Amino acid sequence: MDGRRDRVAGAMRLLADGDRDGATSVLRAALAEAPDDPDILHGMACVARASGRPDLAIGLAGRAIAILPAAHFHITLGCALHEQGHLEPARAALHVATLREPRDARAHAALAAVLGEMGRWGEAEASLRAALGLRPADTALLLDWARAAIMGDGVGIGPRLEASARRFVAQDAGRLHGLAVLLSERGRHAEAEILYRLVRDRCPDQGAAWANHGAVLFALNRHEEALAALEQADRLAPDVPETLNNLGLVLMALGHLPRAGVALAAARRCAPDDARIVVNDATILTDMGEDAAAERLLRGVLADPVAARGAEGARAEFNLGTLLLARGAMAEGWRHLEARERLLPEMRWPALAPWDGSALPHGRLLLHAEQGLGDAIQFLRYLPYCLRRVGVVLDLPPALHRLARTMPDPEGLIASRCMVLSDEAPVPDDVVARCGLLSLPHLLGMAEVPPFVPYLLPPVPEGARVGAPRVGLCWAGNPAFRFDRRRSIPPQMLASLGDVGGVCFISLQHGAAAGDPPFAMEPAATGDWLDTARVVAGLDLVITVDTAMAHLAGAMGRPVWLLNRFGGDWRWSAVFDRAEAPRWGNGTSRWYPSLEQFRQDGPEVPACAWQAPIAALRAALECWRCVDR
């Protein structure tokens, strides 16, 4: 008996060393002497699996189990069944193995592999946790666990792998990269960053490792770190289109427009057929004021029938729309802007047909906000025109509900034909079509800026505008916006405004930036946007960067000074300036006649580009406080 066991053990060593023929010869000789020996049958099953014959292995392992139901026999049977695609029988066999020998990590790991293929990732993660408990130093098991945990939407994967960083070697980089990709695909960029960093540290001479780390740092808005990583990637592996593309986007986000243009132009030269890079290059050209070159690139993408149908075609058409709007070609611009629907998240109301702009013979229109609060405020001015054609159910962010109810209603259309949908309320049954607010100019055929009258009219607080002039200040937008650094202003750059005497400053800043004012002032308003509007109604002037605050003050008809970046949003372009010269700044707006702009005059980095407009605004503020209002 011991001799047979020794022969089986010797055969398994031969198999482990890659000598399948030697192992087969030994086992066949042993089997001829003892055809019902379960260990020999199991050894033959292992050889069959190694030879790519799981079908034979299933029969041999089954015979061995019939004689002796050992746990490791069930593991071999379960693995062979798995390889043949018989998932449920494989799961059952491996489950038996874990019950018979719960201290065998191989059984738990094999069971996890089957459960994962069945999509039962929570159970797979639990099985791998059990295996790791038995073999805590097994790096392969740890990486298997991480994959199962990610697929099962588990948390804390990145930190756990980071805590085990010393265990990983260069050979683990590929699997770590795969896990990072899985996390990135699920929007879990902070955890993905940890893994991309682990890969980079193990492959410091590989440009791709630095490039991937730089890309995820950019996704996290850690722009300076992203820039350093991508520059290193470019040094290690020059002329890689994806690296140059991301480098250009990071530089653009940081406000280094000329350098961004150089990087994106280089990326396009390296990959002239990559529509995504072409659109990005067109974007920086637009920001640099090179509209003709940008338009040629965008129309080139749209001329390609394959690219035009995809996501980059939608981006190209949308960007062309904003370029045309900035030029004043409003009818064509509005039409191309409709491409944004192909870029927005999946429609919440797929059963509702898009509205074509005509009167509805029955039922009402769902008119919904679709982008930022500023867009919603600006395009509410088109609501009365829409109500002349259809009844409306208005879907707005909850923060705007009470504010929207302050719209004047001289024709009674809002009161009689518009209902604001309450938060999370179902869409009424009589709604038969849908439309985004930004589609109204196109669908209503309005190719000019509508005549302006203030259309948000909250009550003026009692005792407002008495005493020293009251000036509201907003210096930052939403930091989650990838290019926020170009529109927001570091508060210390506005510190000199606090030296203007005879002015009472009130913070209009929302969000985390409110806690870091440029100088002492009355605290920010709390509550929804009606509460903010009530504060604005009591101010003599609003000073703001390009955020919803500019639209709020403008829609109320309150004086507002906009600090605007070079190559800014289409709606603030010079083509929309009023015929009258500005009184204080270097630009105006037909969208909001009470608004004046203090524009940057060149594509310098923000630290330099903001100096001139801030200095001009401060000088204007000194004069403004002395005049009658």
Span 487-528, pLDDT tens digits: 999 999 999 999 999 999 999 999 889 999 999 999 877 889
Q: What is the band of 462 on the pLDDT scale with cuts at 50, 70, 90?
A: confident
Cα 143 to Cα 476: distance, rounded to the nearest angstrom: 42
Per-residue pLDDT, 480: 84
Specify the DSSP class assigned to residue 423: T
pLDDT at 373 over 70: yes
Per-residue pLDDT, 479: 87
The angle, 0 to 180 degrees and rounded to 10, between the axes of the packed helices 207-219 and 223-236 is 160
Per-residue pLDDT, 464: 65
Asked if residue 150 lies in contact with residue 125, where contact means CB atoms within 8 angstroms, the answer is no
Going by DSSP bridges, is the β-strand pair 504-507/431-436 parallel, antiparallel, or unpaired?
unpaired
Q: What is the band of 465 on the pLDDT scale with cuts at 50, 70, 90?
A: low
Cα 338 to Cα 102: distance, rounded to the nearest angstrom: 60
Per-residue pLDDT, 443: 98
pLDDT in tens, 385-440: 999 999 999 999 999 999 999 999 999 999 999 999 998 889 999 999 999 999 99
Asked if residue 353 lies in contact with residue 432, where contact means CB atoms within 8 angstroms, the answer is yes
* H/E element, 257: helix 257-270
pLDDT in tens, 516-559: 999 999 987 788 999 999 999 999 999 999 999 999 999 999 99
The pLDDT mean for the chain works out to 94
Return the SS3 of 543: strand
Per-residue pLDDT, 463: 65
Return the SS3 of 433: strand
* H/E element, 199: helix 189-202
Give the mean model confidence (pLDDT) for residues 76-96: 96
Cα 550 to Cα 433: distance, rounded to the nearest angstrom: 31
Per-residue pLDDT, 23: 87
In terms of pLDDT, which residue wins out, 139 or 349? 139
Token output for 213: 């780390």
Token output for 340: 């944004």
pLDDT at 1 over 90: no
Per-residue pLDDT, 628: 63
List, in order, residues 6 or more apart from 343 with CB less than 8 Å away.
311, 314, 315, 318
Residue closest to 560 by CA, chosen among 551, 572, 571, 573: 551
164-173 contacts at long range (C-beta below 8 A, 24 or more positions apart): 164/139, 165/198, 165/201, 167/137, 167/139, 167/142, 168/139, 168/198, 168/202, 169/202, 170/202, 170/203, 172/139, 172/143, 172/202, 173/199, 173/202, 173/203, 173/209
pLDDT at 581 over 80: yes
pLDDT at 220 over 60: yes
SS3 content of the chain, % helix, strand, coil (to 5): 60, 5, 35
The correct CATH number of 470-624 out of 3.30.70.1890, 3.40.50.720, 3.40.50.2000, 1.10.1660.10 is 3.40.50.2000
pLDDT in tens, 227-266: 999 999 999 999 999 999 999 999 999 999 999 999 999 9
pLDDT at 3 over 80: no
Per-residue pLDDT, 4: 75
Q: Which of 86-90, 110-114, 118-122, 462-466 has the lowest mean pLDDT?
A: 462-466
Name the one residue in this structure whose structure tokens are 């919440």: 348
395 DSSP β-pair partners: 368
Domain chopping of the chain, boundaries:
354-443, 470-624
List, in order, residues 6 or more apart from 449 with CB less than 8 Å away.
330, 576, 590, 591
